[in-house]
Amino acid sequence: MKQSRINGQDTPATTRGGRPDSPLRYGFLLVPGFTLIGFASATEPLRMVNRCDHGVRYHWHTISVDGQLTRSSNGVAVQPDFSMADTPQLDALFVCGSNPIPPRIERAHLHWLRDMAHRGTALGGICTGSFWLAKAGLLDGYRCTLHWEDASRFLADFPKIAVSTRLYEIDRDRYTCSGGIAPVDMMLNLIRRQADGDELAAMAAELMVCERIRSTGDTQRVPLRQRIGTGQPKLIEAAALIESNLEEPLSVDELARHVNLSARQLERLFNEYLQCTPGAYCLELRLARARQLMLGTGEAIINIAAACGFASVAHFTRRYREQFGIPPGAERRAMNARPG
């Protein structure tokens, strides 16, 4: 018989004002290719709280469709505690999303998530887990967030859902976060809502060498700003223009006019801070977007090439292979052939 792990969860129904009479129970649905860093970042704060409290405030369980071994995005395999069918009662359930998001979400996941919501279980999404909740129709009327890398696809598929760029969102009985180490902050803030929560969250953060518990007001960093800071607004504006015009790339002269610089000044900024030309930066973004679409959707290669500003499939394939070391079709086939 499988034993539950001592760890936990938090939800509106689980945000108890007094000390809980029994431990809170969290479930973590591990989808194939789930991000291990997100899962670990969500569970470790709960383990630390149990350690600090010298007792058991939280239990956690890992879950998969059939209870079979589930492989994470970095290849580490986890043996779940339960299948969806034999999962015990939970206070909250978190979907540990995959990277990349698969072209199709398993119907079994969607049906089960709807059933859990019907039972009154609070629901959360880690990294790309918001995508599963949205696909099941469980984020309608809620704020949510997910990893910035997948925001464009999410907005395209679910234009009516309110998506923020925050690290995490706690909106009534929905808890979503952007992935990476953001689950640490989300869980610590949920822990704060418990009896003695402020003190326990602070002690847990200290054990994890976490200098600051980030709030719901903290946003995900824009990669370019992270690389060059905010001291070059013209460069950041030009880069944003490039990113918003991937299907029909702007010329250097057009970019320079938009940001009120000469073409030479703009090229100098790119070379100094990004060590590349505006054209090379644009190509890198187009290929990154193309790869995201190749691995995250079932869209035809010819359509992806056109959506990312390539005049022909042959040109797209050549550039893709030069950038990633493998043709786009071959990489998609390799991803689809992965076990688990």
**Which of residues 236 and 228 earns the better pLDDT score?**
236
Mean pLDDT of 268-292: 91
Whether residues 35 and 167 share a domain: the answer is yes
Average pLDDT of the residues in 149-167: 90
* pLDDT the model gives residue 217: 77
Cα separation, 129 vs 205, whole angstroms = 24
Q: Is residue 184 included in any domain, yes or no?
A: yes
Of 207, 239, 266, the residue that ends a domain is 207
Same structural domain, 161 and 308: no
pLDDT in tens, 171-212: 999 999 998 999 999 999 999 998 788 899 999 999 999 877
Token digits of residue 107 = 């119907």
Q: What integer pLDDT is reported at residue 112 of this predicted model?
A: 98
More confident: 333 or 18: 333
15 in a domain, yes or no?
no
The predicted pLDDT at position 87 comes to 97
What's the pLDDT at 11?
A: 41
Q: Which residue has the higher pLDDT, 18 or 253?
A: 253
- pLDDT surpassing 60 at residue 12: no
Within this chain, do residues 307 and 242 fall inside the same structural domain, yes or no?
A: yes
Q: Tokens 């070391």 belong to which residue?
A: 325
Picking from 150, 179, 207, the residue at the C-terminal end of a domain is 207
Tell me if 4 is assigned to some domain.
Answer: no
Residue 96 domain-assigned? yes
Report which residue type is found at 103: P
Asked if 192 and 291 sit in the same domain, the reply is: no
Q: At residue 59, what are phi and psi to the nearest 5 degrees? A: -115, 150
| Residue 14 placed within a domain | no
Query: What whole-number percentage of the chain has pLDDT above 90?
Result: 69
7 in a structural domain: no
Average pLDDT, the chain: 88
Tokens 């059939």 appear where? 66
How many domains are contained in the chain?
A: 2
Residue 68 has pLDDT above 50, yes or no: yes
Q: What is the predicted pLDDT for the residue at 325?
A: 92
Q: CB of 98 within 8 A of CB of 128? A: yes
Contacts of 243 by beta carbon, 8 Å cutoff, 6+ apart? 285
Please tell me the pTM assigned to this model: 0.67
Spatial CA neighbour of 3 closest among 66, 113, 79: 79
Mean pLDDT across 237-249: 90
Please say which residue of 179, 207, 235 terminates a domain: 207
The rounded percent of the chain whose pLDDT value lies above 70 is 90
- The domain that contains 75 carries what CATH number? 3.40.50.880
Q: Are residues 228 and 172 in the same domain?
A: no
The answer to whether residue 9 sits within a structural domain is no
Structural domain containing residue 312: 223-336
* Residue 136: predicted pLDDT: 98
pLDDT score, position 9: 37
β-partners of residue 74 are none
Q: Are residues 250 and 203 in the same domain?
A: no
Q: What is the pLDDT of residue 55?
A: 79
Which of 58-62, 212-216, 284-288 has maximum average pLDDT?
A: 58-62
Q: Are residues 60 and 165 in the same domain?
A: yes
Q: Is 215 inside any structural domain?
A: no
pLDDT (0 to 100) of residue 21: 66
**Is pLDDT above 90 for 80?**
yes
pLDDT at 337 over 70: no
Which CATH number covers residue 312? 1.10.10.60
Tokens of 105: 């979400």
One domain, residues 126 and 203: yes
- Give the model's pLDDT for residue 196: 83
Quickly state the pLDDT bin for 1 (edges 50, 70, 90).
very low
Both 305 and 160 in a single domain?
A: no
Same domain, yes or no, for 117 and 75? Answer: yes
181 & 228 share domain:
no
Statement to judge: residues 156 and 303 lie in one domain: no
